[in-house]
Structure 1
Amino acid sequence: MSEKLVTKGIVLRATATKEADYILNILTDSLGRIAVVARGARRKGSRIAAGSELLAFSELVLYQRGNWYYLDEASTISLFDGIRQDIELLSLASYFAEMTECVTAEDEPVPEILSLLLNSLYALDTLQKPQSIVKAAFELKLLALSGYEPLLDGCAVCGTHNPKEPVFDAQQGVLLCKECAGHGGGGLLPLDAGSFAAMRHVLFSEPKRMLSFSLSGETEKRFAAACEVFAQVQLDRRFKTLDFYKSMKIDN
């Protein structure tokens, strides 16, 4: 057996394989996103079972053989039990995990993204922040940390710092005032002062204060729509977990 490695990480995806094993996709703090074989994790009484669950955040003891990491021990730090007990929250958290997997590369540490994911799950699990606000903030900040940060300093055409009737161009990732947006085409989303301020706050505030605001009514809807459309347009893919989450919202 090779030298053991100790790291912390969260399970983004768990795929059952063989009789009782999992192949885990884990975002770690020191190794980046890695694939890990969890032998016997599905077996009753396995000491690594809890740490092999989706969204389990643990201290992990790994060893490497060839191109694969193997899970030797897992001491769970948080299982986000409040999320697991609510199918709607679990579907939203699964969307966060799928998005995170989409934007991260193997073996490249991204501590800011790991921190964002953990803080967002904590906001749902313990702080019980509104789902739509946590979701929108996560989408926007994740895209920014992944190299897709939108330009919200002012209108991209005339330079007005605080347009009275701001419009967000999700395709170009820029802010426009209503006059410069003109009639436009697809991807132009109307904002208001509150939703625009919320987007700026998410991008520029300290990580621990990212969700220290509240919105309601039409302002909350505009904030949520702008962030979701921006993520969809920039990443150019559908997320099955998002579709499932939306179906759960409709059912409820």
Structure 2
Amino acid sequence: MPYIVTNGIVLRETETKDADKILTLLTAERGKISVIARGARRRRCKYAACAQSLAWSEWSLTQRGEWYYANEGSTLELFDGLRTDLAAMALGFYFAELTEAVTNQDEGAPELLRHLLNGLYALSALRKPPPLTKPAFELKLLCLAGYEPLADSCAYCGRTDPEHPMLDVVQGVLRCGRCGAEESALSMPLCRDSLAALRHIVYGDPKRLYSFTLGADALRRLSGAAEAFAAAQLERGFRTLDFYKSLQPLDLPSK
């Protein structure tokens, strides 16, 4: 059968019998594909480095029905900066799991792939703070996947500067604190700065996605809104997110 040469990043790896792995790869042309990597757990395997989570590599594959089989692999980027920082690594795994949740099997996903690679690069090479990178990645990923929130004005009264702004994470709209309160199933509070950051993420230049700063309180509001929005829109939780959050220091009340 003819070889298929493609670049892909490992979203997830599953160990199987013997020394094999099943890899979930994200590619630009074919979207999410399942790859059987025989012998990938053996030390002498020629593509062992490619068959680890978050490895970005060039692959030579053979397709048989719904499955792809690995023939050769060559690493392009391992994001070494993540592998020396447990919190950044955990966040990278969450980015991968979240991306997997919004991608389809055998359906091209160049924008989603680019967004994931940029997010990992921001953490690994640019050393962007994980607490800032996380909400920006979550919100922009959901926008690219078709869940873009309406954040230009209050969905009820039309004010561009909502009074006590709230993000309705179920309906995906911005509202004033009093507007639509009875109709909202779940809304997360914002402030002037966190709302500005939200609009920067949703409507701004993707190349400057992580180019903003926020105070601690505004960042907590943005992060809470982004996380709740992702959970509400995708109707699920994420094991990797739970692990990342378990690594964060507890916010102790001040005396």
Aligned to 2:169: 170
Code of the residue aligned with 2:12 in structure 1: it is R
Task: Say if 2:32 and 2:103, in contact at 8 Å, map to a contact too.
Answer: yes
Q: Any residues of structure 2 matched to 1:96-245 within 5 Å, and which?
A: 96-182=95-181, 187-245=186-244
The one-letter amino acid of 1:69's match is Y
Local SS of the residue matching 1:72 = strand
RMSD: 1.6
Counterpart-to-counterpart distance in 2, 1:174 and 1:65? 44
Whole-angstrom CA distance in 1 between matches of 2:8 and 2:206 = 19
Supply the distance in 2 between the matched residues of 1:28 and 1:13 (Cα, whole angstroms).
Answer: 13
8 Å CA contact retained: 1:167, 1:181: no
Q: Shift of the alpha carbon at 1:146?
A: 1.3
Question: Which residue matches 2:39?
Answer: 40
Q: Give the gaps of 5 or more residues in structure 2.
A: none
Please tell me whether the aligned partners of residues 168 and 184 of structure 2 are also in contact (alpha carbons under 8 angstroms). Answer: no
- 1:20-41 deviations in Å (ceiling 9; x for gaps): 1110000011111000011111
Separation in 1 of the partners of 2:19 and 2:194? 48
Identity of aligned residues (%): 51
- Asked whether the equivalents of residues 164 and 193 of structure 1 are also in contact (C-alpha less than 8 Å), the reply is no
**2:11 maps to which residue?**
12
SS in 1 for 2:179: helix
TM-score, normalising length: structure 2: 0.94
Pairwise CA distance, 1:215: 0.9
Provide the secondary structure at the position in 2 that maps to 1:81. coil
SS in 1 for 2:141: helix
Instruction: State the shift of 1:155 in Å.
Output: 0.4
1:71 corresponds to which letter in structure 2?
A: A
Residue 179 of structure 1 deviates from its aligned partner by 3.2
Which string of whole-angstrom CA distances, capped at 9 and with x for unpartnered residues, describes residues 122-175 of structure 1?
A: 111011111111110111111111111111121000111222431111111100
Given residue 48 of structure 1, which amino acid in structure 2 is its aligned partner? Answer: Y
Residues 161-211 of structure 1, C-alpha deviations (whole Å, 9 max, x = no match): 222431111111100122314477652211111111111111112221111
Alignment size in residue pairs: 251
1:66: how far off? 2.9
Measured in 2, the distance between the counterparts of 1:10 and 1:19 equals 23
Is the CA contact 2:167–2:189 (under 8 Å) kept in the aligned structure 1?
A: yes
**Structure-2 separation of matches of 1:19 and 1:228:** 38
Higher helix share: 1
Give the CA deviation at 1:74: 1.2
Q: Which moved more, 1:96-105 or 1:157-166?
A: 157-166
